[in-house]
């Protein structure tokens, strides 16, 4: 017997976490960006409207979850996914084999909430959210939303099986230049997330100084990461690295790893060491480490920056779909 409910209380949203983790571990489309370690801190930090999350239960088991909220405006209320903007992938979570039932239950339940437009963005290809259908919903056609360049991983940690030779030569030259500058060291920041964030923020701000500020220059965004990163780290999802020359940290890499997929989320480097390319050295190291861990793909996430294609990445697109009441 299925039961669906609207969760509109932030306290209940928080306490859902144990059930949410169990569902997340089963859901075929789950990424770290749909975990409670990411979305609960996002809501605590930003809370840009009223929660309207739909949970679907079978007995005491959570089998479906659509983390949603209402954004109110003059033209009416919009239904949007929790995590929008900072999350590279979003989707409805479902226990495998229940997708059709769960999606139908979510569509039926969300109609009990007052809204004029429902938008789901950053949906992966084949995501459960793309299948939402109901007689009382008018669905727009799925549209390409964001390009996420992805490198298919093959070979060993020499990168010869997946990274173009030109990039590998550039990487060797960068390492040689860094070694000429002084003693180099790469270190994992796992288990020490706050110290890592201190370094990442310092380097990211230095990188973007005079250019309007980077992502982490926004105080709420920093607060979000200080809440989220320790939770992700506790679950073994974090792959963060620091690069130092003569004991001075000159580069930081914030990545994630889940189900054979590595995610390059954010980086920063000291512009005084730009010729040594600490950012490239860290990405090369992260790819090599992901190969050692058995990853099949290295996802550079949203954005078509030229450097991503230099590593051999190819665009994969997320989707966006909009519904209105028919």
Q: What is the pLDDT of residue 174?
A: 97
What the block records as the tokens of 247 is 């004991």
What pLDDT, on a 0 to 100 scale, did the predictor assign at position 211? Answer: 67
Please give the structure tokens belonging to residue 52: 């309207």
CATH placement of domain 154-295: 3.40.630.30
Residue for token pair 């060491």: 273
The label of the residue with tokens 């209320």 reads: 77
**pLDDT given at position 213:** 63
List of the chain residues with pLDDT < 70: 209-214
Q: Is there a contact between 3 and 54 (Cβ–Cβ < 8 Å)?
A: no
Q: What is the pLDDT of residue 272?
A: 93
Q: What's the CA gap between 87 and 326, in Å, rounded?
A: 29
For the chain, which residues make up each domain, given as ranges?
2-146+317-325, 154-295
* pTM score: 0.95
The yes-or-no answer to whether 2-146+317-325 and 154-295 have a common fold is: yes
Measure the CA–CA gap between 79 and 50, rounded to whole angstroms.
10
Among the four given CATH numbers 3.30.530.20, 3.40.630.30, 3.40.50.300, 3.40.50.2000, the one describing domain 2-146+317-325: 3.40.630.30
Strands (E), the chain: 2-7, 50-51, 53-58, 61-66, 68-73, 76-81, 93-94, 117-123, 137-139, 143-152, 184-188, 238-245, 248-258, 261-269, 297-299, 314-325
CA 38, 40, 286 angle in degrees (round to 5)? 10
Cα distances (angstroms) measured from residue 249 to each of 95, 176, 193, 282: 43, 17, 15, 12
């Amino acid at each position: 017997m299925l039961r669906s409910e609207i969760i509109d209380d932030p306290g209940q949203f928080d306490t859902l976490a144990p059930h949410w983790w169990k569902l997340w571990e089963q859901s075929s489309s789950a990424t770290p960006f749909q975990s409670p370690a990411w979305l609960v801190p996002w809501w605590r930090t930003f809370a840009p409207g009223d929660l309207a999350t739909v949970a679907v239960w079978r007995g005491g088991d959570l089998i479906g979850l659509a983390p949603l909220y209402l954004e109110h405006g003059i033209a009416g209320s919009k239904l949007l996914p929790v995590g929008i903007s900072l999350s590279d992938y979003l989707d409805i979570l479902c226990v495998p084999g229940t997708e059709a039932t769960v999606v139908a239950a979510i569509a039926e339940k969300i109609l009990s909430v007052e809204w004029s437009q429902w938008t789901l963005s950053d949906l992966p290809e084949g995501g459960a959210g793309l299948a939402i259908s109901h007689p009382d919903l008018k669905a727009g056609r799925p549209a390409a939303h964001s390009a996420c360049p992805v490198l298919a991983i093959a070979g060993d940690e020499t990168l010869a099986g997946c990274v173009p030779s030109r990039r590998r030569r550039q990487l060797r030259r960068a390492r040689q230049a860094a070694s000429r500058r002084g003693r180099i060291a790469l270190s994992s920041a796992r288990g020490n997330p706050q110290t890592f964030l201190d370094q990442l923020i310092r380097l990211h701000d230095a990188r973007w100084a005079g250019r309007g500020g980077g992502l982490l220059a926004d105080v709420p965004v920093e607060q979000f990461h200080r809440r989220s990163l320790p939770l992700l780290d506790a679950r073994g999802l974090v792959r963060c690295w620091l690069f130092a020359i003569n004991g001075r940290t000159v580069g930081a890499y914030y990545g994630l790893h889940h189900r054979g997929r590595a995610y390059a989320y954010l980086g920063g480097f000291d512009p005084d060491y730009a010729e040594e390319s600490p950012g490239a050295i860290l990405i090369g190291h992260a790819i090599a480490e992901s190969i050692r861990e058995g990853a099949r793909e290295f996802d550079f996430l949203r954005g078509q920056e030229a450097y991503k294609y230099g590593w051999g990445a190819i665009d994969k697109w997320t989707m966006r779909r909009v519904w209105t009441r028919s």
